[in-house]
């Protein structure tokens, strides 16, 4: 059953916090939440993008939106973020910020792996810990965490990234059960290839990979918030995950590795001027980054 915008606001409002809101899926989640009338705390590193989005959404939807520029890889990121949220009644915490380091593990700079662990795993874990008490007190609201279809299987040539997404998926599923009887909804969103900035960064062609539009992923995800624990947008992504999980593990890993390798080999040299470490790549549709 679809809930109305009023019901949505009642349950997850008045304010949602969205990490990774400066681009891609996070930006589209923020837009879709504003359309439903929720106020926003927009979190990422690129301040100008966040401020521009906050301004545009406030004007268009008459909501309150604040931009909080913070690096989630910093050990003390909560010290900056929590004071910026003081006095706000946050009913939905969207842990979406993340990136992927691809390639062979032994060739990957260790500091990139550490940064990825911090942003993809440590930040959602600490955010859940920080906001759960207040959400439980309210007895309504929830968490949305962005994982990836790679979180369902080991992924050769993307082993570390896939492992971070398995962590997020496990975390989300665990708290889904832990908190559901206390009125909270938790959704683990596991997109496949999605047409965001990561394609340009890795020199990949989103059309060739039949990537989904981030606004479609965001809308579908919000529609599934109360139907956790898991949601994979896109029929072919769901089918891909299902097939891989049915196949003998060795065969599934071989298929996943071959496709990831092909996608990485087909990429042009990545574009420079990337504020984050090497970002997520997209193997052929359904095989996600």
Ligand X SMILES: NC(=O)c1ccc[n+]([C@@H]2O[C@H](COP(=O)([O-])OP(=O)(O)OC[C@H]3O[C@@H](n4cnc5c(N)ncnc54)[C@H](OP(=O)(O)O)[C@@H]3O)[C@@H](O)[C@H]2O)c1
Q: Interface residues with ligand X (CB under 6 A)?
A: 20-26, 44-46, 71-73, 96-100, 119, 146, 148, 191, 193-194, 196-198, 214, 275-276, 279-280, 282, 288-289
| Token pair of 156 as six digits | 């050769």
Q: Which of 12, 61, 152, 161 is catalytic?
A: 161
Shortest Cβ 74–ligand X spacing (Å): 8
- Contact (CB, 8 A) for 146 and 169: no
Token code pair at residue 4: 């109305």
Whichever of 41 and 97 has its CB closer to ligand X, that residue is 97
CB of 55 to ligand X, least distance (A): 16
Short-list 198, 282, 222, 186, CA closest to 28 = 222
Q: How far is the CB of 121 from ligand X (least distance, A)?
A: 11
Question: Helices H, strands E: what count in the chain?
Answer: 11, 7
161 is an active site residue: yes
By Cβ distance, which residue is nearest to ligand X? 24
The b-or-e profile of 37-59 (16+ CB within 10 A means b, else e) is bbbbbbbbbbeebbbebbeebbe
Distance CA 233, CA 259 (A): 20
How far apart are CB 21 and ligand X at their closest, in Å?
Answer: 6
Task: Output the six-digit token pair for 69.
Answer: 């520029």
Q: Given the complex with ligand X, which of 208 and 251 has the nearer CB atom?
A: 208
> How near is the Cβ of 40 to ligand X at its closest, in Å?
13
Which two three-digit tokens encode residue 172?
């989300």
Give me the count of residues in the chain.
289
> What is the spatial distance between Cα 51 and Cα 146, in angstroms, rounded to a whole number?
23
User: Where in the sequence numbering do the catalytic residues fall?
Assistant: 161
């Amino acid at each position: 059953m679809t809930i109305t915008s009023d019901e949505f606001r009642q349950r997850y409002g008045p304010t949602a916090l969205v990490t990774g809101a400066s681009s891609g899926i996070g930006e589209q989640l923020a837009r879709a939440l504003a359309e439903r009338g929720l106020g926003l705390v927009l979190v990422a590193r690129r301040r100008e993008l966040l401020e521009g989005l906050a301004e545009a959404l406030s004007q268009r939807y008459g909501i309150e939106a604040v931009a909080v520029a913070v690096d989630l890889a910093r050990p003390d990121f909560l010290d900056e973020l929590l004071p910026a949220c003081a006095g706000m009644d946050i009913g939905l915490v969207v842990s979406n910020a993340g990136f992927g380091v691809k390639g062979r593990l032994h060739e990957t700079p260790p500091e990139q792996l550490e940064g990825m662990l911090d942003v993809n795993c440590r930040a959602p874990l600490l955010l859940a810990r920080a906001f759960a008490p207040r959400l439980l007190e309210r007895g309504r609201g929830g968490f949305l965490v962005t994982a990836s279809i790679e979180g369902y299987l080991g992924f050769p040539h993307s082993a570390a990234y896939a492992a971070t997404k398995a962590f997020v998926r496990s975390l989300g599923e665990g708290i889904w059960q832990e908190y559901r009887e206390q009125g909270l909804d938790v959704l683990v969103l596991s997109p496949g290839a999605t047409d965001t900035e990561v394609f340009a960064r890795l020199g990949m062609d989103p059309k060739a990979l039949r990537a989904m539009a981030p606004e479609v992923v965001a809308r579908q995800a919000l529609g599934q918030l109360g139907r956790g624990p898991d949601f994979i947008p896109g029929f072919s992504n769901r089918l891909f995950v299902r097939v891989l999980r049915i196949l003998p593990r060795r065969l599934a890993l071989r298929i996943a590795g071959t496709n990831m390798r092909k996608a990485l080999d087909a990429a042009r040299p990545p574009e420079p001027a990337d504020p984050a470490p090497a970002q997520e790549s997209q193997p052929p549709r359904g095989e996600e980054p």
